[in-house]
Amino acid sequence: MAAPQRSGNYRGFVLLFILLGTLWEAWAGHILYSVSEETDKGSFVGDIAKDLGLEPRELAERGVRIVSRGRTQLFSLNPRSGSLVTADRIDREELCAQSPRCLVNFNILMEDKMNLYPIEVEIMDINDNAPRFLMEEINVKIMENTAPGLRFPLNEAGDPDVGTNSLQRYQLSPNRHFSLVVQSGDDGTKFPELVLERVLDREEERVHHLVLTASDGGDPPRSGTARIQVTVVDVNDHAPVFSLPQYQVTVPENVPVGTKLLTVNAIDLDEGVNGEVTYSFRKITPKLLQIFHLNSLTGELSTLEGLDYEESGFHEMEVQAQDGPGSLTKAKVLITILDVNDNAPEVTVTSLSSTIPEDKPPGTVIALFYLQDRDSGKNGEVTCTIPENLPFKLERSIDNYYRLITAKNLDREKLSVYNITLKATDGGTPPLSTETHISMHVADTNDNPPTFPHSSYSVYFPENNPRGASIFLVTAQDPDSDENAQVTYSLVEDTIQGAPVSSYVSVNSDTGVLYALRSFDYEQFQNLQLIVTASDSGDPPLSSNVSLSLFVLDQNDNAPEILYPALPTDGSTGVELAPRSAEPGYLVTKVVAVDRDSGQNAWLSYRLLKASEPGLFVVGLHTGEVRTARALLDRDVLKQSLVVAVQDHGQPLLSATVTLTVAVADSIPEVLADLGNLEPSAGPYNSGLTLYLVVAVAVVSCVFLAFVMVLLVLRLGCWHKSHLLQASGGVLAGVPPSNFVGVDGVQAFLQTYSHEVSLTADSRKSHLIFPQPNYADTLISQQSCEKSDSLLTSIDFHKCKDEASSIQVSSGLPLFP
């Protein structure tokens, strides 16, 4: 290619085409631009941003870029101006040879939507190439007896430009013997022929030197020259003649190098040197000279390099045969290349989203790729497939572009990475295929809330737990990833007995460990209801709740409490009576106890721990009833001391004891007679006052009879004093009652008696009580005793020494130390 010759007119011509390149047309979705070849790098081609309806800044924001089909990138985008510009100098002849119209096709990809916009740029020709002869020197041999008017073919010149810029005329340098005639072929090619105008004389001039000039029609025009050397030879009667005017051969493209394709053959009827024929190429391109070889002696045409159908499927050339004196003839050689399926399909991934959020709807474009096969026919027909078990499908776009789109909703929790194999297969025999592997990661979205294994939990922990103790662990799983799977725990605000639930328990926000903030007492709290929330860190966050039922387990931390007989608050000791006539199994009294614990910790059992007379009394294991084990005998002492133990069934075992004093007698006088022999049952009351108490009881017994008689006389004689007696009873009602008012145990057994006497050693007054009748199986509490006292009178025994009366006295005789 001749170096470009630039001038002022040429620059104007280039500028004109640059201006024309700004014109564009759009039809059927195509955008057409034009630009002149050989323009500088960065030359304006078209306003692509405007034609796509975008602002220049949006080109980068929306990922607009050029995708080409394996060709060197000729154009680029200017992100500032939004224009399409040349990426380098463009040589039209290199791209399109001598095609009448040179179109460069590529696509504009908009990444955000993966849309393709086809672009066509027409490369306008400029006169940047001068005509050029294959050989700079042409040798012609003419016999001296040749008649004028005979024509001799010359090698034509070639010009890769097209249109008016291509070869237009030939011119021969002035001379006396020759002229020039130009012939035109069917394809418009011009062939120069040298015409003999005058007879040659070898003795006058053996060699003639001429100059042949070829010119194009450009502005300014370009030209090329070749030197013609005409040699005058002796007479040669016959010129070589080819066996065929045109030789044709069809060969597959995969023939080995050096393969003989055909043999051209020319015959010269002359003898000797005049009949010796040599072969040579007459019209051939420089590129074909590197592919084919013509044996000058045999005329065999063979290959120097491998043939490639994809580069060219057809070759045309001219060969000539010349004898010794210089007579020559020409013939055409046509070589057709058959396509062989020697090219596997090519997959060019134009755009790829290696990561796609799992919440993208079906139809989302993942990849855009281009399929091509350099073979032709069925060998170039390409089909593309992907495995059927994937949630994707292929969709054809423009040209041979395909989209890989989602066919179903994706779920990262089921599969986070897809390895997709694109298999492109052609239609050849045997078929060739190419596999392209695409790895696509599914990005997580917060579409799964944390979940607990169960909707509710029942938690059991013992009472008396230390503060801050861990009592349970809740765990929620979130199948999402990263921040979407980071779970935090919290308590739902609520109140329990007027206090917030957070004052009872707390939960570790990271681990889900539940802590007790106080020591729980089963007797106060048996269960607590609360709700724990598990929330992830997604945007927006998702959460779920779980219900917790906290049950406090009872521990044996309370000993049994004895309700009856209770220890008197006034320091007295109760005595239970058992008549000597009692049969075995007679109910003497009943020990009543409770335990604040629950379950087996509150299961109570009673047993006789100690007795002054073993075998005389038994205690019910579960009822606490004290009964006679045998009939009472005269030899049995009046006072019987029993120690009853009440025990629960917890771990460890806890127990309580009570001491009972049982008086064995058939009548009250017998009790009073033998009262001096009684001792208090409680150890703390055994002191030095016992002797005085016994003497005092004996004296009081005597005085009591006189007191009763005096009381009756005074009541009959002094009726008006009854009001005073009632007033004194009201004063005594304010005195704190004891747990045993009188000798309650005796009263339980003596139904016929209706009076009760209480004697104290440290008071000058004794109590005379007239209660309601009681029954043997009735347990008398402190409150029932207080309510049943219909008349309570306090009398000074010193004023009633002379009165005596026979009265019935209840058998409950409390003793006071």
* Distance spanning both ends of the chain, measured CA to CA: 145
Provide mean pLDDT across the span 365-391: 90
Contacts of 633 (CB under 8 A, 6+ apart): 580
According to DSSP, the residues that pair with 500 across neighbouring strands are: 495
Residue 299 gets the label, from left (phi > 0), alpha (psi -120 to 50) or beta, of left
Q: Which residue type, as a one-letter code, is found at position 347?
A: V
Provide mean pLDDT across the span 267-286: 86
Cβ 544 vs Cβ 533: under 8 Å: yes
Q: What are phi and psi of 411, to 5 degrees?
A: -135, 105
- Give, in order, the Cα–Cα distances in Å from 547 to each of 454, 469, 492, 543, 729: 9, 20, 10, 14, 62
As given in the structure block, the two tokens for residue 569 are 């608050």
For residues 592 and 817, give the distance between their C-alpha atoms in angstroms, rounded to a whole number.
Answer: 26
Instruction: Please give the share of the chain, as a percent, with pLDDT higher than 90.
Output: 39
For residues 13 and 612, give the distance between their C-alpha atoms in angstroms, rounded to a whole number.
Answer: 144
SS (H, E, C) 450-489: CECCCCEEEEEEECCCCCCCEEEECCCECCCCHHHHCCEE
Give one DSSP letter per residue of 416-453, joined into a string.
SEEEEEEEEEESSSS--EEEEEEEEEEEP-S----B-S
Position 584 pLDDT exceeds 50: yes
SS (H, E, C) 84-106: EEECCCCCHHHHHCCCCCCEEEE
pLDDT tier for residue 549 given thresholds of 50, 70 and 90: very high
Query: Where is pLDDT greater, at 177 or 720?
Result: 177
pLDDT at residue 673, as a whole number: 60
pLDDT at residue 701, as a whole number: 77
Cβ 505 vs Cβ 516: under 8 Å: yes
pLDDT at residue 788, as a whole number: 37
pLDDT at residue 597, as a whole number: 86
Cβ 504 vs Cβ 516: under 8 Å: yes
State the pairing for strand pair 605-611/575-578. Answer: unpaired
For residues 660 and 645, give the distance between their C-alpha atoms in angstroms, rounded to a whole number.
Answer: 11
Cβ 424 vs Cβ 436: under 8 Å: yes
What is the per-residue pLDDT across 86-117, written as a single tens digit (0 to 9) for each? 998 999 888 888 788 899 888 888 888 788 88
CB atoms within 10 A of CB 353: 19
For 217-242, give one letter per residue: b (16+ CB within 10 A) or e. bbeeebbbbbebebebbeebeebbeb
Position 813 pLDDT exceeds 50: no
Cβ 606 vs Cβ 641: under 8 Å: no
Cβ 76 vs Cβ 87: under 8 Å: yes
Provide mean pLDDT across the span 267-293: 87
| Residue 303: its H or E element | strand 300-303
For residues 334 and 299, give the distance between their C-alpha atoms in angstroms, rounded to a whole number.
Answer: 15
CB atoms within 10 A of CB 548: 21
pLDDT at residue 47, as a whole number: 93
- Give, in order, the Cα–Cα distances in Å from 625 to each of 269, 510, 639, 741: 160, 59, 19, 21
Q: What DSSP state is assigned to residue 741?
A: S
For residues 604 and 708, give the distance between their C-alpha atoms in angstroms, rounded to a whole number.
Answer: 46
pLDDT at residue 385, as a whole number: 92
- Give, in order, the Cα–Cα distances in Å from 350 to each of 31, 370, 677: 20, 7, 121
Contacts of 20 (CB under 8 A, 6+ apart): 34, 36, 124
Cβ 370 vs Cβ 411: under 8 Å: no
- Nearest CA to 529 among 511, 552, 508? 552
For residues 671 and 575, give the distance between their C-alpha atoms in angstroms, rounded to a whole number.
Answer: 11
Provide mean pLDDT across the span 43-54: 91
Position 23 pLDDT exceeds 90: no
Query: Where is pLDDT greater, at 663 or 568?
Result: 663
CB atoms within 10 A of CB 40: 11
pLDDT tier for residue 695 given thresholds of 50, 70 and 90: confident
Q: What are phi and psi of 577, to 5 degrees?
A: -105, 140
What is the per-residue pLDDT across 593-648, written as a single tens digit (0 to 9) for each? 999 888 888 899 999 989 988 888 999 999 999 999 988 887 888 888 999 999 99
Provide mean pLDDT across the span 655-674: 76
For residues 422 and 6, give the distance between their C-alpha atoms in angstroms, rounded to a whole number.
Answer: 51
For residues 216 and 161, give the distance between their C-alpha atoms in angstroms, rounded to a whole number.
Answer: 9
The reply to whether the predicted model has a pTM over 0.95 is no
Position 682 pLDDT exceeds 80: no
Distance of CA 12 to the CA centre of its chain: 64
pLDDT tier for residue 69 given thresholds of 50, 70 and 90: low
- Nearest CA to 341 among 436, 430, 257? 430
- Nearest CA to 710 among 576, 814, 800? 800
pLDDT at residue 640, as a whole number: 87
Which residue's structure tokens are 């992907």? 386
Give one DSSP letter per residue of 32-97, joined into a string.
EEEEETTPPTT-EEE-HHHHTT--HHHHHHTTEEEE-SSS---EEEETTTTEEEESS---HHHHHT
pLDDT at residue 805, as a whole number: 31
Q: Which residue type, as a one-letter code, is found at position 423?
A: K
Q: What is the mean pLDDT of the chain?
A: 79
- Nearest CA to 513 among 461, 450, 454, 470? 470
Position 770 pLDDT exceeds 70: no
Position 21 pLDDT exceeds 50: no
- Judged by DSSP in three states, 252 sits in strand
Provide mean pLDDT across the span 668-673: 61
pLDDT tier for residue 24 given thresholds of 50, 70 and 90: very low
Cβ 578 vs Cβ 663: under 8 Å: yes
pLDDT at residue 670, as a whole number: 63
pLDDT tier for residue 725 given thresholds of 50, 70 and 90: very low
pLDDT at residue 715, as a whole number: 73
Position 688 pLDDT exceeds 60: no
Provide mean pLDDT across the span 754-763: 36
For residues 310 and 337, give the distance between their C-alpha atoms in angstroms, rounded to a whole number.
Answer: 9
Give the CB-side neighbour count of residue 306, counting CA atoms within 13 A.
9
pLDDT at residue 797, as a whole number: 32
Q: What DSSP state is assigned to residue 362?
A: T
Provide mean pLDDT across the span 397-406: 87
Contacts of 373 (CB under 8 A, 6+ apart): 343, 344, 345, 346, 379, 380, 381, 382, 426
For residues 405 and 420, give the distance between their C-alpha atoms in angstroms, rounded to a whole number.
Answer: 12
For residues 533 and 602, give the distance between their C-alpha atoms in angstroms, rounded to a whole number.
Answer: 38
What is the per-residue pLDDT across 453-502, written as a single tens digit (0 to 9) for each? 999 999 999 988 899 999 999 999 999 988 999 999 999 998 888 889 98
Query: Where is pLDDT greater, at 581 or 749?
Result: 581
Cβ 325 vs Cβ 351: under 8 Å: no
For residues 572 and 766, give the distance between their C-alpha atoms in angstroms, rounded to a whole number.
Answer: 13
Position 811 pLDDT exceeds 70: no
The most confident of the ranges 240-254, 710-724, 775-789 is 240-254
Position 293 pLDDT exceeds 90: yes
State the pairing for strand pair 575-578/655-664. Answer: parallel
Q: Report the largest interatomic distance among the alpha carbons of the chain, rounded to a whole angstrom.
A: 209
What is the per-residue pLDDT across 525-536, written as a single tens digit (0 to 9) for each? 888 899 999 999
